[in-house]
A and B are shown apart, each in its own frame.
Chain A
Amino acid sequence: MSVMNKLGHQAEFLDDRLTVANWGKRNLRKVFPEHWTFMFGEMALYSFIIVLLSGIYLTLWFKPSMTEVVYNGTYTPLNGIEMSEAYKSTLDISFDVRGGLLMRQVHHWGAMLFIASMTIHMMRVFFTGAFRKPREINWTIGVLLLTMGFVEGFAGYSLPDDLLSGTGLRIAEGIMLSIPVVGTYISFFAFGGEFPGDEFISRLYGIHILLIPGIILGLITAHMLIVWYQKHTQYPGKGKTNDNVVGYPFMPVYMAKAGGFFFIVFGITVFLSGVATINPIWAYGPYVPDQITAGSQPDWYMGWLEGALRAMPNWETTLWGHTISWNVLIPGAVVLGVIINLMLIYPWLEAKVTGDKREHHLLDRPRNAPTRTGIGVMSLTFYMMLLIGGGNDIIASQFNLSINAITWAIRIGIFILPPISFVITKRICLSLQRRDRDKLLHGRETGSIMRLPEGAFVEVHAPLSDNEKAVILSKTDITPLPWPEKVDENGVKDPQYKKDHRWARLSHWFFSDNVPKPTAAELAEAEAHIRHSAAEGAPVIAHREQLEPEGGVLHDPSAVEAEKEPVTK
């Protein structure tokens, strides 16, 4: 009792001075919807925190210097070899600092998890249309976070100055050099002269531990504040609308869940770091420009760019005595730039095509946006082709394939497979839409066959659960942009005609083959029909329930789910 009193006094003290009681109450009771896919962003956030903490530990011993020193330490196979201080201190962290190797591995595995989590989070947001108005800005911040993650990761694995680091930096230098006109200047500026120079590691260090983490932290803060302010989107279901949030309050449910999940992510990361090696820098040896190893690859998130580089034919043009290396410029700089920019503007691009200016808080089911889902799968196919191409030598040697055959398969596949996967995905989505429409109009197939008095066999259909109905009915049918008039009623030519016509054509393409939701009249008619069928078949169902009690194939989990009332705010 006295404890509560004391706490109460404390709260009063704060409230008297900062008037936080109302604000705190409102925010602590804020409702968030529940779904496991909503935790991907949390996964990214927690792995970032883990990377930040383990990174601080590493800074205590890492020496970002390219000064040549001679190693004489615990790892005898490198004794007496000249190496940079950066590499030496990484060896020391790995072999002489207590917990150093574990921390290095936590830092590196955590970084890989951070970017992988961001990737699946982005996929969830894309396929459910969570980026639509009003969340376009947050999508953009997310894309920037992912890009910053790439840069931060690249900077990170370049710091130890081992053979793999140097190889990666050499490629980065090559990409800088491929930029026409200013390439050489950029490279000399970045490396303080000829590659590798003796400046770069210390420059990169500042970028890696200060600049980019700072940017990422700022962007994460903005990202989360916007989520908090705009409220979280939710999946469609019974009682869920565009104007409410159905779920549990932040305090205590999500505070506990989120706190617990942090420790689970931490635990999994440390477990992985305890059992699996990542980046064994001692085996690579220090970076020496005339050495190289087979299997020189970047971390997975840079693998698609590596793939683009490996798949690109060896095209060069010589203009006025200067070589333009299309073979590096296109995959190294152009592909990355184009794709990141397309990702940044996608929400606005889609809104322009659909003409959809409404606010969306209810998520799309991927099938109900077939063109978007198709574009998503198409992009993933493209990405996967490049990623596979990035590991072409490992795939060749492990699966006894020809590296040349793989490269050609990628070169051709990158143009052919994405469109094919687009068409297949779109068709699957449309089929699922048809199936949904069918379910609404004819009910759920029970799998029970009934013989009618006149001898005919019919399948008994049962009405859908309220929840399932709500999910299917969440689909919004949007009419494509209208075709513009060439000449208005006053005979004035529309100067925007051509442009508008193009957008309208895109819009019609986007919504082509949409399977419209049944009208209210159709639904009412169907309702009566399904009810009739169900009533007629009730004895059959009852008989089978008796034969096969709950737990058998007839047990319908969705019906049980519908009975549970969700907590509404």
Chain B
Amino acid sequence: MRRRHRAAAPILVLLTLALIGVLYAAVGSAASAQASNEGATTNAELIKQGQQLFAEGCSSCHGLGAQGGPEAPTLVGVGSAAVDFQISTGRMPLAAPNAQAPQKKVIYTDEETAAIAAFVASLAPGPQIPTDEEINYEDADLVEGGELFRTNCSQCHNFTGAGGALSNGAYAPDLRDATPRQIYEAMLTGPENMPVFSNETLTPENKQAIIKYIQNMDEQASYGGWAIGSLGPVNEGAFIWIIGIGLLIGAAVWIGARVR
């Protein structure tokens, strides 16, 4: 039996390593090349598709170039975050001009929304849709979120995020159905009457903390029983008059009824 060359094993190892290296480089660069290539083409395509959708669904108010009109603001420079927020919550397109855009059924798919957002973002730089990493609130500080929420949010949105009234029919909406992305985008872009909380005012960490607090309020147990809408003493008053006094009067009638 012929004995293998002494150097066979090391050479084999080297060859294997080389092969792996070459393969890795080839596949890696191919992937990144593909990605950049795809990004370039798709982004252009996306913008084009977005422009098409914009012309169909948005331009009647916002203008073909998103420059705005007598009834609608310019969208140049609002960024993709604003577009994603407005469309993904169903606020846009607007059914009728009113005190405030209400939340409705969402009519665009995620891809269409992304396309319109890309188109609007291509007009001028503005706040971008937050990445999954940016809205990841897992490690955020819940307690700090509570402090920030009570200082910045509860004055309009109520202490549990149940929402509240603003002037002339406007309102701060219920936050309990909003997704983390929407909450983040709302803080970033300040839709309707909401002030803008830029990343200088509330850092991404602050925003994540607030999101965590809101999500936690929604998830945590209702310790005292039914929360009666979490709207505060008005509902408690209605409850005690309707249910409490109702039950007591029922009992009084029962006891006070003459024995026949």
Contacts and interface: CB of A to CB of B under 8 A. Distances in A.
Interface string A396-422: 111011111100000000000000000
B103 to A, nearest CB: 12
- A-side interface size class: 35 or more
B156 A294 contact: yes
Contacts of A391: 234, 237
B13 interface: no
A433 B165 CA distance: 46
Contacts of B247: 268, 272
B252 A394 contact: no
Interface in B210-234: 213, 216-217, 220, 222-228, 230-234
Given A294-B154, A294-B164, A105 B224 contact: yes
B252 A39 contact: yes
Contacts of A113: 240, 244-245, 248
A274 B225 contact: yes
Contacts of A95: 223
Interface stretch (B54-62, B76-84, B145-153): B145-153
Contact of A36 (B146, B243, B256): B256
A277 B225 contact: yes
B236 A163 contact: no
B135 interface: no
A397 B171 contact: yes
A164 B248 contact: no
Contacts of A279: 233, 236
A512 interface: no
Q: How large is the interface on B (under 10, 10 to 19, 20 to 34, 35 or more residues)?
A: 35 or more
A76 interface: yes
B227 A277 contact: yes
Contacts of A261: 251-252, 255
Given A81-B143, A116-B241, A294 B235 contact: no
A295 interface: yes
A401 to B, nearest CB: 7
B8 interface: no
A112 B237 contact: yes
Contact of A81 (B147, B232, B235, B258): B147
A275 B217 CA distance: 19
Contact of B239 (A76, A264, A276, A290): A276
A35 interface: yes
A296 B232 contact: yes
Contact of B165 (A34, A43, A280, A294): A294
A401 B245 contact: no
A275 B239 CA distance: 12
Given A300-B236, A397-B164, A404-B168, A116 B227 contact: no
A278 B234 CA distance: 11
A265 B163 CA distance: 35
Contacts of B235: 394
B256 A163 contact: no
Interface string A198-226: 00000000000000000000000000000
Nearest to B171: A397
B99 A294 contact: no
B240 A401 contact: no
A77 B240 contact: no
B223 A43 contact: no
B108 interface: no
A113 B240 CA distance: 7
B231 A295 contact: yes
A273 B157 CA distance: 27
Interface in A97-144: 101, 105, 109, 112-113, 116-117, 120
A276 B225 contact: yes
Contacts of A264: 248, 251, 255
Interface in B23-71: none
A48 interface: no
B248 A295 contact: no
A468 B251 CA distance: 26
Interface in B82-140: 99
B206 interface: no
Contacts of B171: 396-397
B173 to A, nearest CB: 9
B160 interface: yes
A293 interface: yes
B230 A283 contact: yes
A299 B157 CA distance: 20
Interface in A296-311: 296-300, 303
Nearest to B162: A295
A257 interface: yes
B142 interface: yes
Nearest to B169: A402
Given A39-B255, A260-B255, A277-B225, A394 B231 contact: yes
Contacts of A393: 164-165
Interface in B173-231: 213, 216-217, 220, 222-228, 230-231
A371 interface: no
16 contacts: A77-B213, A163-B150, A163-B154, A272-B240, A275-B226, A277-B222, A277-B223, A277-B226, A291-B151, A294-B164, A295-B232, A297-B232, A297-B233, A397-B171, A403-B166, A403-B169
Given A77-B216, A293-B154, 17 more contacts: A36-B253, A37-B252, A42-B252, A76-B142, A101-B223, A105-B225, A261-B252, A277-B227, A278-B236, A279-B233, A280-B223, A295-B159, A300-B241, A397-B172, A400-B169, A403-B169, A564-B258
Interface of A: 34-40, 42-43, 76-81, 94-95, 101, 105, 109, 112-113, 116-117, 120, 163-164, 257, 260-261, 264-265, 268-269, 272-280, 282-285, 288, 290-300, 303, 390-394, 396-398, 400-405, 564
